[in-house]
Amino acid sequence: MSDLPPATAADRIAARAALDRLWAAGREFLGCEAAIMGGAMSWVSERNLTAAISNAGGFGVLACGSMGPDLLEAEIAATQALTRRPFGVNLITMHPQINDLIGVCVAAGISHVVLAGGIPSGGAVRAVKDGGAKLVCFAPALVLAKRLVRSGADALVIEGSEAGGHTGPVSLTVLAQEILPHVRAVPVFVAGGLGRGEAVLAYLEMGAAGAQLGTRFAAAAESIAHPRFKQAFVRASARDAVLSVQLDPRFPVIPVRGLANEGTKRFLEYQAETLRRFQSGELTKESAQLAIERFWAGALRRAVIDGDIEQGSVMAGQSVGLVTSVQKVADIIAEIVEQAMAALAARHMIATHG
């Protein structure tokens, strides 16, 4: 046990002041109490979870995914009915109706639009900016981070390979070292593998403006995910959240991190069978690639909504090992803030008392 005395009220006041200074830019940019964004997760980040995160002092982000303009308009209105606090909308740049979706966000008065899934076009950037919304983009490398800032991004998210769902090849620890010291013109939020306040604090001290969390919120009480989906998170360890495997480089597989199950095993078998059919001349290269890409169609919904955690796609980040129970969103945010403050209070106590 530590021989240090417990933190005093003065230590905690100093800790709160230090934390407020560290994520001041993130709080100001998002317009919330805690610079903690919710990751946009298809089927999960809908009205209830988005509003719960914003109501708890964080910043909820609604996942548009494959929604059309009418459905997105209805979901935004439903979210606004649940919270008076600001929230953002995440749009996929490759969506065939991206311009219409941006128009829906602007018309609804959405303060922040997140463009994900690729480098946004100049037209999309202008549409967001001209509509009066703040633009948030994902930057997988320093060269792209600088390019996005020059093109008009008001903030960036750097997401490490530890994250769940579609993810890049580089860990957050490396991305943070590559990007944070060199991008100061706009707030930069870190994401991927985050589950505790001490880790968030470390990145704030490196220059991050805040953090984005997905996995812990996916298992929150307010998440509409099926109880079996949430319990799979509670039972899982970090090692259970694995990337999808590409069997043959001729048939690329977009990396997706999720919990290993019968579906992931079947995907490998399916790739092998499809490869055999291609090599025998039964399938063309194009049809074989399309077959592989369509394997997981609807699999995320089956897991999240229907609770099929064996054959469905149980997308989760490596921070799933830190999910030990189903908690309310407010408790998750409060816990992360408390952990960061406890670390800062301990430092202040040591500096003060020696």
pLDDT (tens digit, 9 = 90+) per residue, 29-69? 999 999 999 999 999 999 999 999 999 999 999 999 999 99
Q: For residues 203 and 179, is the Cβ–Cβ distance under 8 A?
A: no
3-state SS class at 85? coil
List, in order of start, the domains of the chain with CATH numbers. Answer: 9-226+325-348 (3.20.20.70), 237-315 (no CATH)
Reduce the secondary structure of 133-177 to three states and give it as a string.
CEEEEECCCHHHHHHHHHHCCCEEEEECCCCCEECCCCCHHHHHH
Query: Over the stretch 88-130, which tens digit does the pLDDT of each residue have?
Result: 999 999 999 999 999 999 999 999 999 999 999 999 999 999 9
- pLDDT for res 6: 80
Dihedral, CA atoms, 175, 177, 178, 180, nearest 10 degrees?
90
Q: Tell me what pLDDT residue 297 has.
A: 85
CA 294 distance to own-chain centroid: 24
107, 79 Cβ separation under 8 angstroms? no
DSSP 288-302: HHHHHHHTTTTHHHH
Residue ranges in 23-141 assigned as alpha helix (H) = 24-30, 47-55, 69-80, 98-107, 122-130
Query: At which residue do the structure tokens 């949430």 appear?
Result: 230
Residue 349's pLDDT is 87
| pLDDT band at residue 354 under the 50/70/90 scheme | low
Instruction: Say what the pLDDT of residue 201 is.
Output: 98
Residue 92 has which token pair?
């996929």
